[in-house]
Amino acid sequence: MRIADAMTRDVQLVSPDQSIIEAAKMMADGDCGSLPVADNDRLVGMVTDRDMVVRALAQGKTDCKVRDVMSQDIKYCFEEDDVDDVAQNMGDLQIRRLPVLSKDKRLVGIVSLGDITQTTDSDIAGEALSSISEKASQHSSTGARPH
């Protein structure tokens, strides 16, 4: 099965120039914990609720822009990729959501481990979640930004 068959197509985007307060409101309205960051029609980062807390709010910064706290090292997959391969990769990378790109590298959706579990009988999603839960997270508790 292809990722295109499992992903969510209705993805809300945030601009790198929007405030983290606006991004937080978008997350609350969409009941989600992460947003792809797009500049014009290109994916330039991902921002999570944790990014905002650790990299801004915990340091007393409330007037930051999304670009100040987003992760620029974007992990992604392509819509034609195999679901089992992507789930395995998500476990290896210790991430729960991946932006999905078309072959011309335009954002077409987002896929979560939950999406994968609902669309496949494979145990791969469970193994990926187990890998994520057992290992230390990619996020640094110090708030250091990945390079």
Amino acid residing at 112: S
- pLDDT tens by residue, 58-101: 999 989 999 999 999 999 999 999 998 998 899 888 888 999 99
Structural domains of the chain sorted by starting position, each given as residue range(s) with its CATH number in brackets: 3-134 (3.10.580.10)
Does residue 146 carry a pLDDT above 60? no
CA distance 95 to 105: 20
pLDDT at 121: 58
pLDDT at 125: 55
CA distance 25 to 20: 9
**How do 42-48 and 77-78 pair as beta strands?**
unpaired
CA distance 70 to 1: 31
Confidence of residue 19 (pLDDT cuts 50, 70, 90): very high
